[in-house]
Amino acid sequence: MKITFLLKAAHGMGGTIRATLTLANHLADRHDVEIITLQRQRDDPFFAIDERIGVRTLMDLREGVRPGRFEARLGRHNSRLVPRGDRIWSQVTLRGDHQMRRALRRLETDVLITTRPAFNLLAARFAPRDVAVVGQEHLHLDAHRPDLKEHIHRWYPRLDALVTLTEADRRAYTDFLTPSPTRLQVIPNALPAGAKPVSGLDAPLIAAAGRMAKVKHYERLITAFAKVHATHPDWILRLYGSGPELKNLRAVAADHNLGENVAFMGRTSDIHAAFAQASIVALSSSFEGFGMTIIEAFACGVPVVSFDCPQGPGEIITHGRNGLLVPSGDTDALADALCELITDPARRQVMGATAHQTAGRYDLAAIAWQWENLLTDLAGCGN
């Protein structure tokens, strides 16, 4: 079976890219896998891409690569195919429209898997009818803007299947799209293959990881940690990632006089090594499409303290067993929960062991098996 993935920037970093490449690399053992990337901005991929996978670039944006005159003219105008409500609208332009529409119309594959709303919509409109189209949602329905939802309501019924990361989101799309022939299925993200280092849970260290954007609300985590620091001054908070909020977050840490107790670690390509040094992982987002950070922490045997935000944390964390859930946005509750685990090392150990067991549900082979069953069924072909 030939399987094609459509990504915005396959050589970049980010949760969607990492999850997609993890799956694609595994499927390449048994299938002909291709990746179409809308943009390429770097020579080498941030995450490994199996050498058996063909990568086709639609817009090469690397330094020194110049588009032709026609492409350059198109690049001066905003996209007309990507809805303004999609966060990549300003990054696509008419040049991207032209390249994606042409690539989709000429596509020769059994299954196309698209990885964000704009691509789901374009595939529903322009992919050949003999190609099984599977849209993926890495956010949840209510995270989308109203104008984007209008496009989703119109075009998603033309998808052969829509895969959500959580059961709550599957239910939301069922209600939103009914009646629709689109098959709705939950398949969570998978952990990368291979053994993960396991934390001893004895270091005075809390970790958090993700893009430093407003939705992650690291300022709330830093504020909660300030309360923790008042009674546990030896503990350190490490924040992994980068993004537009970094400068503001440094200022928040300075305002709380946290000094070196809050460390901004930058990007890492080995989050498991980072988490294995921690005793607690914290999550302070206002919403999560899934919560990849949680299962990555679990894989290292680290319990997670998280806001109970939509959608993922409440489906992954069992409160009191492998982590703690607190009311979304309540920084005092977040601080109190962190202190609970700090002051009770034995409880931390028990939760860490349960977390490690929970991570088994997201084993790559098991998740890929769900994908293979879905794709084989949709494509009507054997292995």
Domains of the chain with bracketed CATH: 2-190+363-379 (3.40.50.2000), 205-362 (3.40.50.2000)
Residue 13 binned pLDDT confidence (cut-offs 50, 70, 90): confident
- Please tell me the distance from the alpha carbon of residue 222 to that of residue 201, in angstroms, as a whole number: 21
Over residues 113-140, the pLDDT tens digits come to: 999 999 999 999 999 999 999 999 998 8
Q: b/e string for 29-58 if b means 16 or more Cβ within 10 A?
A: eebebbbbbbbbeeeebbbebeeebebebb
Please give the share of the chain, as a percent, with pLDDT higher than 90.
88
- Please tell me the distance from the alpha carbon of residue 331 to that of residue 324, in angstroms, as a whole number: 14
Mean pLDDT over 87-97 rounds to 92
* Cβ count near 181 (within 10 Å): 9
Residue 381 binned pLDDT confidence (cut-offs 50, 70, 90): low
Q: How much is the pLDDT for 382?
A: 43
pLDDT at 272 over 50: yes
């090469």: which residue's tokens? 60
Q: How much is the pLDDT for 36?
A: 98
Q: How much is the pLDDT for 87?
A: 87
pLDDT at 383 over 60: no
3-class secondary-structure state, position 148: helix
Q: Which backbone phi and psi does 166 adopt, to 5 degrees?
A: -135, 155
Residue 289 binned pLDDT confidence (cut-offs 50, 70, 90): confident
Over residues 314-351, the pLDDT tens digits come to: 999 999 999 999 999 999 999 999 999 999 999 999 99
Residue 14 binned pLDDT confidence (cut-offs 50, 70, 90): confident
Over residues 201-240, the pLDDT tens digits come to: 999 999 999 989 999 999 999 999 999 999 999 999 999 9
Instruction: Report the amino acid identity of residue 290.
Output: F
**Helix 292-299 vs helix 15-27: crossing angle, to nearest 10:** 60
